[in-house]
Structure 1
């Protein structure tokens, strides 16, 4: 998006940097570059106003993964950029506006590939998978219910991509049926993680892990764990900007 709406993309870029992506390039329209430059030093900046600009950027072989969605916009131009990103066959995280655009595409499941990771919250999941969301919200007349693990497994199989359904009990699944649950509950509770922009940081963390060569399901699962752990290290009073800066302490606690 334009000037005044770059915060989400900058948060994602910081998450990718702090998780060790090495080289991070934030692509933004020309009108927003000065704003991004005023807040970011370690990330590179690249002007991307149209498909031609993105094609030129993707010629750089160092770009091993993409993150698309935070602060992206949902217009026709952005829809074209999404199609190009999907056609590039690079590992790709879709979040926020990227998911909204995906929901508008005809036969969106045919556009995705096995190296895609979708990171919806509950509302975005309902727009992409209304039948699964309805089933998840319902109560069966008898027998076992339909769990969040059931929902993400069905979603991942349908789209052929890893799906991470955000929440206090984040559920993750791969198209092959592998699944994981990362719950920020009980002794791992971090209610202060429910703050604006936290999901943008998570998208950046997962994209950074993909850039480091982690497989999509592993990147999503590890990213969800690191996200909560960073919030727990910082504690109450956390805002989204604190999450990337807390990752080094998490890594030191792991002996890395």
Structure 2
């Protein structure tokens, strides 16, 4: 449904969007699972889940402890909820992607859960506490990564995972980080740099300074998960999500908060597909 496009200088261009097949099924667009934070820390995962659904994942399920799911149940309708029993057998071969990090809390429990979910072998996106939990021991994380995993650090999280890589030249920094980690790395900033382990690089310049607001990164995480669920390669999913996220931020402008972004994504997608909102 989405096709990533790039300018000659490596800048991310507006993606191409075509409608899903008329005889398609929701599972054709993937089932994304997003790991929720605990009670009173559920908002970040909910933002990610809404964005994941908006960009076209066929189904989205939030996974968490019972008290967290009670909070989610009061806020969402189209998003499904499953209690984390420690086994998660419901993450089956129809799964499109996994997302971990927003609101989880940094620590040993998150480390263990991230490694467990990565071991299931599905495309994944890691952000926030899923990255910070490996500060001081990044090699343990890197050993579990693959080229269908996307890491989405901001500058502080990047420094915790790659303390010896200077960020004066962000293109060079993200390329070295991707090669070392074995995953796609998306380094957030005014210009978002993306690289894969082979050295491929792109930069998204289509964005707004109003995106520097709490929760905006959680929305980006969900968007990447939604695109991975639709079978985009990890590098392309990261690039397309960065462009869509930036466009939604430009539409929101002054006064933007992260809660606005999933709704703003709709206008972007309708313009790209030629649909007109009623």
Question: What is the TM-score with the length of structure 1 in the denominator?
Answer: 0.89
- For 2:132 and 2:63, the matched residues in 1 are separated by 19
- For 1:104 and 1:172, the matched residues in 2 are separated by 23
Match of 1:69?
A: 101
Alpha-carbon offset, residue 105 of structure 1: 4.2
Whether the 8 Å contact between 2:136 and 2:160 is mirrored in structure 1 is no
Deviations 1:18-74 (A, max 9, x none): 00001000011111111001111111001115x32x3x232x222211000001122
Match of 1:183?
A: 205
Deviations 1:102-122 (A, max 9, x none): 335462321111111000000
Unpaired runs of 5+ in structure 2? 1-36
Whether the 8 Å contact between 2:138 and 2:161 is mirrored in structure 1 is no
Unpaired runs of 5+ in structure 1? 138-146
1:197 equivalenced with 2:183 (yes/no): no
Aligned mate of 2:167, from 136, 158, 161? 136
Two-structure CA RMSD over aligned residues (Å): 1.4
Deviations 1:106-165 (A, max 9, x none): 623211111110000000000000111xx224xxxxxxxxx2111000000001100000
Q: Secondary structure at the match of 1:171?
A: strand
Deviations 1:179-219 (A, max 9, x none): 011124xxx5x221111000000000000000010000000
Note the 1:137-156 alignment, pairs <5 A.
Answer: 137=168, 147-156=169-178
Match of 1:143?
A: none
Structure with more helix by fraction: 1
Paired residue total: 237
Structure with more strand by fraction: 2
Aligned mate of 1:226, from 244, 254, 259? 244
Question: What is the TM-score with the length of structure 2 in the denominator?
Answer: 0.82
Alpha-carbon offset, residue 80 of structure 1: 1.7
